[in-house]
Chains A and B, each alone.
Chain A
């Protein structure tokens, strides 16, 4: 096969596709719809992952949690590339007492203003508000509210151990997280009112989008000595990590299955199309077009058609993602309200990534090459005399 003829075959294939407009359009339509649908689905899968992360990491814990930070450590010392917010928290275990009824709890000292700005936890406060800095106020869970049978404004006593001197707190709000790890015993008060505020503190670190938590943890590991330690959200929530990986694998399987079906569709359509025009292929062979050249021509035809379909599909898919995102996402709250990974919001915002944009057309391209093999083999196998006699 002569290299100088490749441009000629590309031109012939292009003319074939352009001048067989309706057939090309019908065949391309399969590719266009598959690519567009899969770009949208992939973007939606990214949106689901984002929503799960936003709802779990963003609710309270952050992307990285720092433990046992010395009292002398300032929050500024935790500044690192990609770290967007640093929330200081002090956890003190103790006993909450109301008219002789006691409950073991963990009192968490927070900066209410920062918490409201950075986390989504405020959405979980279904009565009252965050405690105010400088005031002896606490935020309790709805479970504690029921146990103590208290409401907003009622007073509760907190002591480190039963019998110790108690601090009196007024209930400013009641929350219901819906999460097993974030309920019942966890009670919040302002940092400046927490007893034993000289205890080692914890940090919830929130990262900018796209920053790898493990990289930041490596920086902190070099900066701080034990017993201070840092954990990523993936270490804290391996189930969420697995769920995200599972979703990614499912999407890859879907992409391959869809394009498997589309490739078979393209191959079948092309075989029918080639049988219909077999006499022309016979004439070309009689003119001395070699089998590799004929196969190349068919591969170029399928590939060009696929490229045109992919370009249109990508445009439609990207536009669809942008439109849905701009119009406020897809609200699936009805289906996610009891799901802990969607504890704050069930609204999904499809988001485009390099994978979601390029994987469908790339897979389509590879599958189209396979799709071209059948019709190419059909033409290659037929002898000219048979073609001329047959049709």
Chain B
């Protein structure tokens, strides 16, 4: 279970103080799919980053599977992320100088998974994402949809307990977006991941176990569980 208790986060900018997240509390059950909805600037990415430990909230506590992540040192947090978290970013963020196989294999190597086990897992994932013949392709040789599929495969390769997804369809056409989300759900479910997805696209949020809508950093609507 992921527990958020009175989370607040404020940024200082040229426009003064911006309250990105304001006093949010909720529990996210293990193995569930939670969608965080909201318009641009509503605070959904900040909340996602707080849950993933990438952002430190100004107030409140976050506990991920029993670990109070904001009490971890930088080193402990890195190891927590490495073992337990997978990220899917808006732009894929594949490493441009590694081919598809090496990109998917990166979290496996970081977690000490090598040899046959690594090769087998990458081959399985390539088949799952429909890119079994693209293992040696470089990121610049892939379409936007293919990049996102590889990004999903990389995020789930090491069987993380938590999959954080930030606007996965923002740069994709509807067909590719639907395909990527479906793939992510399937791979996440198979591996028992708790999935949290930030998006402004209502069409991809159906089948979510929980739907949270944010406005100005506050929850204005919460459905499910």
Contacts and interface: CB of A to CB of B under 8 A. Distances in A.
B49 interface: yes
A277 B93 CA distance: 10
B112 interface: yes
B54 A383 contact: yes
Contacts of B75: 290-291
B209 interface: no
Contact of A385 (B49, B78, B79, B80): B49
A222 to B, nearest CB: 66
Contacts of A388: 45, 49, 54, 89, 166
A12 interface: yes
A355 interface: no
Given A385-B49, A388-B54, A279 B93 contact: yes
Interface stretch (A14-22, A34-42, A164-172, A185-193): A14-22
Contacts of B54: 286, 383-385, 388
A379 to B, nearest CB: 13
B142 interface: no
A277 B82 contact: no
Contacts of B112: 2, 4
Contacts of A16: 97
B156 to A, nearest CB: 12
> Could you say which interface size class chain B belongs to?
20 to 34
Nearest to A389: B45
Please provide the 7 A-B residue pairs with the shortest distance between their CB atoms, ordered closest to farther. A288-B82, A283-B93, A288-B81, A19-B97, A290-B78, A385-B55, A385-B54
**Looking at chain A's contact residues, is the secondary structure mostly helix, strand, loop, or mixed?**
helix
Interface in B50-105: 52, 54-55, 74-75, 78-83, 85, 87, 89, 91, 93-98, 102
A291 B97 contact: no
A113 to B, nearest CB: 71
A327 interface: no
Contacts of A350: none
A5 interface: yes
